[in-house]
Structure 1
Amino acid sequence: EGIDNVDYVIAVISKSSIQSEWVKRELDVAMNIEIEQKEVFVLPILIDDVDLPGFLKGKLFADFRNNEFYDKELEKVLQKLGPAQEPPSYTKEEFEKLKTEYEEAKAFVDFYLHTTEQHMKIKSEQRSPEVQSKIDKANIEYPEFVHINNAYAFEVGGIVVTLNYLLWALDKSIKRGGHPLEALLTIENKWLETQIMLKAYSDYLRLD
C-alpha cells in the first residue's frame, strides 16, 4: 500500500540490503508496478561494492561508492525527485501543540527502546553459549529477524525456537495437520513465549 502512493522507490543497494528477504520482497513489488506503469519507478543506488541483483542489472541510477563523485551523484538524485514541497505554516499555538506531541512521542519511543534493550540484555545473559550460538547462526541466515530473535528466541525440549524456525514449524503444522513442536510447547508451557514472538513479528510486518 505504501509503495502505491509514491512517485519513485529508491533502492539502496548495500551488502546488507541484498541479503534481506524483506528488501527483495519490496523490490519485487516495486518492479511489478514499474512493469505495469511502463515507466521508470525504481531507482537503484549503489553504496557498496556488490553485484546488482539480476532484475536490477542495467538499471543503476546513482553510484555513491566513490566520494569523489558524491556531489554529482546526489545532484542527479535530487533532480530526478524534483523540488521539495513547501513546508506547512503553523500558528504559535499549533507549533507548541505539535512540539508537545513530539516530545511525548519521543519519550514513549525512548522508554520502549530502553526497555527492549534491557530485555535483550537480560535474555542474552540468561542463555547458554550453545543456545546463543544457534541464535547467532539463525541471525546470519535471516538478518531481518535479528532483533526479534535476540529479544524473544527461547528453548523448548532442547530445540532453540527462533522466529524463522517457528514460522517453518507453523507452516508444516498447517500443511500436515500438526507438528511435534506443538506438543513440546504444551508440555513445557511455552505457548506464551510463542505468542509474544508472533506478536513481535506482526508488529514488524506492520511497521515495514
Structure 2
Amino acid sequence: MSAVDLSLQAGKPNLEKPKNREPRRMQRLSIFLSHSSRDKAFVRRINSDLKSGGFDTWIDEDNIPYAASISEEIQNGLTKADVIFLFLSEAAVRSKWVSTEWQSQFFKQVSGGKTMVVPVLVDDCEIPEFLQDRKYIDFRKKSEYGKSLASALDFLQSLKVERYGAKKNFDSTLGIKSHVMEILDDLEGEAIQLPQVRRIPIVKTLKGVKRSGKLIRLQGFKPEIKVRSVYDHVISLAHISECFIPCLDLDFSAGDRRDLLLLIAYHDINEVILGDIPAYTSLSRSKRASIRVYAEQRFKTVPPNELERIANDFVWLFLSEQHRQAFRAVMDLSGDAQSKVFRIFQALDKMDPIIAVWRYLHHYRGMLGDTPKLFNSKMKDFYENPDVASLLRDQKISTSLIDTLSFLQDREHSWNYYENANYFDEMTHDFLSIPPKVLKKAIEGVPLFCDD
C-alpha cells in the first residue's frame, strides 16, 4: 500500500499552510508524485527519469523515514512541492484515494496557490470531476513512453523558467554590450555532450575558435600577431551596434533593441559545430587544413542557410530551457529577411570584420615591424570586399552606414590612423556621416581580445 493510501487511514491532513513555509529552491523544480500503490512500478520509472532530467522528486518510499508520521511527511512534501503529478489509472480512480471528498477540496486549495496539480494518465480511466478541466499528460500508450516523457519534461522546464525567473528582463538602462555579455555569462555552463565524445563547452569553444579570415592572412606574419576569436567578434558586434544605432535614422523600439541583442548574442553559436569558415576567400586544401576547417568542401555542397539551420537545431538540443527559448526566437528572427532588425544586424555583422582591421592597427600601433604596410596588404580582402556595400545598398540600409563603410575600406585612411593616434580627433564632423568621435569609440572602445 502506498503512503498516500496509508495517509487516509492515518487521518485527514491539516489543510492549513504552515506559517513558516520553507523558501522554494531557485534552481530545481520539486515534483510530488501522488499515486496509488498499484501503479508503483510505473511511478518508479517516472521518478527515475524526472531525477535524470534535473528535477527534485518526492515519492513515499524514498522520502518517508522509518518511524516517521506518514501523514505529516506527506503534508510536508506537498507544501514544499512546485508541482503535484497526480497519477490516474483505472485502479486509482476506483480507490478511496482519489474519490474522497476531502481529497478534492485539498487539491482545490493547493491549486489556488503556487503549487500546480497535473493529472497523469497511466491507462484508460474516468477522470474525476474536479480534474476534468485540467490538461493532462498522457502515458497511456506504453509504446510511446519516450514521446510522453519528452512532453512532460518540456512542460516542467518551461514552468521552471516561468517560476524562477530564468527569463531575464531587459533593463533599458543597460547597453547592448552589457546585455550580450550577460547572456554569454549565462551560457558559460552550457555544453554539448554526446556518448563517446568529449564535452564541448559552448562559450569556451567560441573563445577558442579563431576568426579564420584573419587567421589565414596572418599566418607567418612577422612580428607574430594574435588572431581574435568568434567570442571577440560577438562582443565587438554588440559594441559597434551600441555606438552606431543612435546615429542612424531608425525608428528603433525597445522590442527592436531586445531582438537585436539576442541576434548578436546567439548568432554565431553554430560555429561551435561548424567552425568559422571564411566566406569571401577560396581556400586551398592545405590552407583549409591549416585552419582546421576540414569539412569545408562538404559544407559548401549545402546551402548556407540550410547548413546554419541544421547546426542551430543540433546545438538547440543541448541548451537549457531559458536558452532554448531565446535561441528559437533568434532562429525565427533570422528567417525573416525583411525584418528591419535583421537587416541592420546583417549590415553591422558584415561591417565588423572591417572595423576589426582598424582595431588591429590600434592595438598593434608602432609594433608592425620593418615593413608595416605589409599588414594592410595582407588585409586587402577586407578593404576590397564588395559584398558588404552591396548588402547595404540592396537592403536600403542607412546611407550613413554606406558612407562610413566607404571610409573604412580606404586603406589610406586606415594607415593614416595607424601613424597618428589623434587622427579622428583632428577630423571635422563633415568628413564623416557618423561623427568621428563615435567611429573612434567603435574602434577603440572595446579590446581587440575580449577574453584577456
TM-score range, shorter chain: 0.3 to 0.5
Greater fraction of residues in helix: 1
Structure exhibiting the larger radius of gyration computed from Cα positions: 2
Q: So what's the TM-score if we normalise by structure 2?
A: 0.19
Q: So what's the TM-score if we normalise by structure 1?
A: 0.33
